[in-house]
Amino acid sequence: MIQKVRKEEERWIFELSLPEQCPLCLVCLKRTIKMTGKKKQ
């Protein structure tokens, strides 16, 4: 969920709140699924 939106110079900053057990992938912004202790999808 977006908590705050602000503009700094030429950039927009979005502050998000995410549930701890569902981290988002930094590439596609979808939920990650922990497959093993070493791999994430």
- What is the pTM (predicted TM-score) of this model? 0.38
CA-closest candidate to residue 22, choices 39, 14, 34:
34
Confidence band (pLDDT; 50, 70, 90) for 28?
confident
Alpha carbon distance 32, 22 (integer Å): 7
Number of domains forming the structure of the chain? 1
Task: Print the domain residue range for 7.
Answer: 1-41
Alpha carbon distance 37, 8 (integer Å): 38
| Residues 8-26: tens digit of each pLDDT | 999 999 988 866 666 677 7
pLDDT of residue 7 exceeding 90, the answer is yes
